[in-house]
Amino acid sequence: MQLSHLQNMGSQEFFGRLIHLRSLLAASLYGGSLWFFVHNIVGSSAASFKNDIVFLISLFLCLNYLCWVFGRRLLYVPSIGLLGVFSAALLYFIDPPLARLAIIFVSSFVLYVGFLGMVRIRNNVHDMTAKSLLSIVLIASLFVTYSVGYGIYTNYDVSLASFLVINYIGVFALTFCSLRIYSTHVKRVAFYSAVLGFIMLELTWMANFWPFNYFTMAAANLIFYYVLWDLFQSALVEKLSKRTALKHALIASILLILVLLSSRWKIIE
């Protein structure tokens, strides 16, 4: 948005673009449900595995309904649904109360960003700000999905093949739905999604042998994914260039080095 346009825009109109009360209410209710989940289900000896599953399924169905209410399209279900459910599941792997509170707050805020993006893009399909907001939801969804996936794979008896297959399905669904916002060519979007899913499957398999915890591996996979997704998105809208590819490769290398240097290495015997 240009500066002159912002200067001519009234404060009420400007904040109206950033604040949507129904979305804010829905995100607040989501945060409250996670707070209830933490204090009454997670870590409770009285709560059973059945209660956990019932809560997560109910949460997923509610988020699906909200996707339809705000966006009127099913394309938003994978990113919003995975973000909501896996943010709740991530609380199982986090013990410090402040860290859990941070997860609840951040996931609720990102959920609000997603709802706001849906409302804006429903009113204007060419709203690039709305598409950027939905991209934030995509990245957050992938991070919690990778974190929970690696947490389950590391702490429970799950085969590597099953983990990779589920990972591929999730990446394909998220990529397809996110790229469809930028293009109406379904076959081309499906092809790019399949290719990106296969690349991430190979990277996930390689990360299985890295001496890091699952949060570090999730962050590393997320860096690779976002760079590749942006390249595919640029190709989809025919704006890909050598300069863009080199810039993304440089950014990915710097971020990956920072993540690996700041992580605790564990020796695999």
Q: Which residues of 149-177 are buried (b: 16+ CB within 10 A; e: fewer)?
A: bbbbbeeeeeeeeebbeebbebbbbbbbb
What's the pLDDT at 123? Answer: 86
Q: Which residues of 29-58 are buried (b: 16+ CB within 10 A; e: fewer)?
A: ebbebbeebbeebbeeeeeeeeebeebbee
The whole-angstrom separation of Cα 23 and Cα 15 is 14
The whole-angstrom separation of Cα 188 and Cα 67 is 25
What does the pLDDT look like over 254-268, one tens digit per residue?
888 887 777 666 544
What does the pLDDT look like over 134-172, one tens digit per residue?
988 998 898 888 888 888 887 888 888 888 898 899 899
Smallest Cα–Cα separation from 71: which of 16, 135, 114? 114
Amino acid at 170: G
In this prediction the pTM is 0.80
Interhelix angle 242-261/214-236, nearest 10 degrees = 170
